[in-house]
Amino acid sequence: MGKFEIKDNFYLDGKPFRVISGSIHYFRVVPEYWRDRLEKLRAMGCNTVESYIPWNMHEPQKGEFCFKGMLDLVRFVRLAQELGLWVILRPSPYICAEWELGGLPAWLLREDNMRLRAYYEPFLRHVREYYDVLLPMITPLQITEGGPVILMQAENEYGYYGDDTRYMEAIRDMMLERGVTVPLITSDGPFEEALGCGAVEGAHPTGNFGSRTKERFGVLAPYAKSGPLMCAEFWVGWFDHWGNGGHMHGNPDSPQDLDDMLAMGHVNIYMFEGGTNFGFMNGSNYYDELTPDVTSYDYDALLTEAGDITPKYKAFQDVIGRYAPLPEVTFSTPVRRRAYGELAVSERVGLLESLDALCTPVTDTFPVCMEKCGQSYGYILYHSELRKEKNIERIRLWGANDRANIFVDKKPLAVLYDRELTGEYDVSAGRVKKAEDVNAPAGEGQERRHAPVTFEAGAPIDILVENMGRVNFGPLMERQRKGIEGCVQINGHMHYNWTMYPLPLDNIAALDFSGGYTPGLPAFYRFTLDVDEAADTFLELPGWGKGCVFLNGFNLGRFWEIGPQKRLYIPAPLLEQGKNEIVVFETEGKAGGKLVFCDEPDIG
């Protein structure tokens, strides 16, 4: 049994201890590569590894828990211990991390009036019930129990979000009551108000920042009082969002900032390796517009998304070597790469022809949002029939998030994204009306360019809405119900009687590729890859529009022609020797017809 204390410094078994840590999110890396990444962390000179714990992955449905495979947290921590690393765990209900809803489960939003990250009893009750399962799993991993965990985080960047001290005290007390004995920390931006709002008695404050170490530590010092200074997230890079124009890079002076941190205090490098937002788990930010994160979480980190050592790694290793011995580490996991060449599509089937195979529909007078249909991620399709309308001149989706493909009589009508969903789409103008056009007298405003859409009575209207990744930061987190929560307004009146088809796409094996196909509409495309030796590879989709890719049923993540990411990372352990099934779901009617497997990434 050991002891880790916070006094004027960090102390391990009574001796001063410098925390030199790096972030690896176990849930963003296939478990077969955990050892490789941890060995590289140790070889760089780090003595500690840090990870968030994503509540939404461990409790995907209320009361249903998962701690297997990529989510085997205990195995990850024990492996770190085996390799001589200490561990910092961040089991706060909210993690941010550019992760879907900041790690909070989407099912929280099924409840009307749900409030997040505040002293609100319905939210706190769910946290308690989660902690009743999680904490008994991780408290035996504490140093006081012979494990490697030396610190835990009570809440994450709360000072950026709110100032509810009662909530912070409740989270702290939940952890203590369930057996947490290692010191607690908070982490907030290096600003007085953030540090003040995020503080709670009994948790040591730390800062999150990526530059200007001496200045930032100067702001943190009064809050740390006589205790150690620590940057709990030293941002060495940044994340990419779709359409941002190119891969983001970090502070070029980060080695000097690291030197300053180690001279003055302690550090956790964020990220040591970023990993991948597999599936639909990327988060989004929202300031002036929605900016959903790409599938790669490369982060311009010290290791690439695929685990390659970068020049930045070498520079950091040189700095760390001035403060700590650099151990001799043999990398024991073989990691190979291969370009498997091109594949042509073998089969295809339309989405509209596959609805009954993929889901059980929900019917209602009104459109029902994704969460109320029992769904968290993916897509949802709204279907109805146009029996009283003679044509469509205008259409508006009220309370819709995030991106809607609208089809009338099985023909594309419009694609509305983000702020376009707050306005009325004018079919004649081919765009969402500008504010100045809405009340313009007849004949004024935008000149007509298109005729209204006409159809026979009973023609179908289908609206495919995609959850692009819930916002993971700020007040908009409480307004992240996806699909359509309000109504569909056609030519000024509300259209009723809808059938909802939830499409989490977690059952791709149910597809029947003999079901029919219409070019130009959303569809699934099947490929077969023969593998004689499994190796890491990167999937490119030339000529394809937007969608997601499944390998042997595993969701590799999203693609979008706008970039910056152009290739999806496929770790070798996801491939099987022999035949591998790849299914591409494409929503824009832009199917390139082939896939290309490369041995290098292309993230812009």
Q: Which residues have a catalytic role annotated? A: 157, 233
The single-letter DSSP state of residue 305 is T
- Amino acid identity of residue 207, one-letter, is G
How is residue 356 written in tokens? 């009954």
What is the C-alpha to C-alpha distance for residues 409 and 42, in angstroms, rounded to an integer? Answer: 60
How is residue 319 written in tokens? 């700095």
Dihedrals phi, psi of 380, to nearest 5 degrees:
-145, 135
What is the C-alpha to C-alpha distance for residues 479 and 471, in angstroms, rounded to an integer? Answer: 9
Minimal CA–CA distance to 527: which of 596, 583, 585, 579? 583
Cβ atoms of residues 149 and 89 within 8 Å: yes
Cβ atoms of residues 185 and 208 within 8 Å: no
Minimal CA–CA distance to 313: which of 40, 80, 85? 40
Report the chain's terminal Cα–Cα distance, integer Å: 48
What is the C-alpha to C-alpha distance for residues 190 and 449, in angstroms, rounded to an integer? Answer: 53
Residue 302: partners with Cβ closer than 8 Å, 6 or more residues away: 22, 44, 236, 269, 271, 272, 273, 309, 310, 312, 313, 316
Q: Where do runs of H (alpha helix) occur along 85-144?
A: 121-138
Q: List the beta bridge partners of residue 499.
A: 363, 383
